[in-house]
């Protein structure tokens, strides 16, 4: 008649809280994607001949994220100072930013997709796919912690501010754009593709 005791009730309450938090995070991702789409439609195309933008912005379609980033960072810092890493406001803003990045990924893939993924692709399709996969990765990391270790889930669970991961991501982006600019034919060299795939699989297995 007591519903299984305090332990069962605590577990049920914890599960309910996790589900509620998960729904809020999902809503933040979806709303971030919608805002990314609105920003893209509301902003004019950036000048194609701007050398500064070509260096600082890898693709014109990421401008929603570039425009939103300063506001997101300021809001994230304010919420972090007030509520800490476990604050729903902090985690929600991170999810919102991931949603904007996911929208940028969708726009790039839609523009450059030709029905296949050619080895000698000279568009930014791989970059769009990379951004999309990173969005999925960060959300999956948070969802994994929230599901199996909900008492410690926090903004850190997204792994967006992990120093070593950030360094690896920046290195991979630099490698991609340098290779695209100076050695685009290497994409068609099978040993290079195999080496990249092998390195990715090794890193994933080693991490687990």
Dmax of the chain from CA atoms? 74
CB 152 within 8 A of CB 126: no
Two structure tokens written together for 154 = 């926090």
Two structure tokens written together for 189 = 């060299």
CB 159 within 8 A of CB 139: no
Two structure tokens written together for 182 = 């100076």
CB 86 within 8 A of CB 155: yes
Q: Please provide residue 176's backbone torsions phi and psi, each rounded to the nearest 5 degrees.
A: -65, -50
Rounded distance between C-alpha atoms, residue 179 and residue 85, angstroms: 37
Q: How many residues does the chain have?
A: 208
pLDDT at 204: 66
pLDDT in tens, 62-117: 889 988 999 999 999 999 999 999 899 999 999 999 999 999 999 999 988 876 55
Rounded distance between C-alpha atoms, residue 121 and residue 106, angstroms: 17
Q: For residues 14 and 144, which has the higher predicted lDDT (pLDDT)? A: 144
pLDDT in tens, 28-52: 999 999 999 999 988 877 666 667 6
Rounded distance between C-alpha atoms, residue 135 and residue 117, angstroms: 20
Average of per-residue pLDDT across 181-192: 73
Rounded distance between C-alpha atoms, residue 66 and residue 57, angstroms: 8
Rounded distance between C-alpha atoms, residue 116 and residue 125, angstroms: 10
pLDDT band at 5 (very low <50, low <70, confident <90, very high): low
Which residues are CB-contacts of 143 (< 8 A; sequence separation ≥ 6)?
A: 22
Average of per-residue pLDDT across 110-130: 75
CB 71 within 8 A of CB 3: no
pLDDT at 97: 96
Secondary structure class of 154 (helix, strand, coil): coil
Two structure tokens written together for 42 = 């509301």
């Amino acid at each position: 008649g007591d519903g299984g005791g305090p332990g069962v009730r605590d577990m049920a309450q914890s599960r309910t809280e996790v589900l509620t938090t998960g729904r809020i995070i999902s809503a933040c991702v979806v709303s971030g994607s919608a805002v990314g789409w609105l920003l893209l439609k509301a902003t004019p195309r950036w000048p194609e001949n701007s050398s500064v933008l070509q260096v600082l912005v890898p693709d014109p379609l990421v401008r929603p994220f570039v425009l939103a980033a300063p506001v997101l960072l300021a809001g994230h810092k304010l919420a972090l100072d007030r509520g800490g890493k476990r604050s729903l406001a902090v985690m929600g803003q991170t999810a919102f930013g991931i949603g904007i990045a996911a929208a940028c990924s969708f726009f790039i893939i839609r523009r450059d997709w030709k029905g296949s993924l050619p080895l000698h692709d000279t568009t930014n399709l791989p970059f769009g796919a990379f951004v999309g996969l990173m969005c999925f990765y960060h959300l999956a990391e948070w969802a994994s912690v929230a599901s199996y270790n909900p008492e410690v889930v926090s903004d850190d669970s997204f792994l967006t501010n992990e120093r070593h991961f950030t360094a690896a991501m920046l290195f991979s982006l630099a490698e991609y754009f340098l290779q695209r600019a100076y050695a685009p034919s290497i994409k068609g060299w099978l040993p290079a593709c195999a080496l990249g795939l092998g390195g990715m699989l090794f890193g994933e297995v080693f991490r687990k």
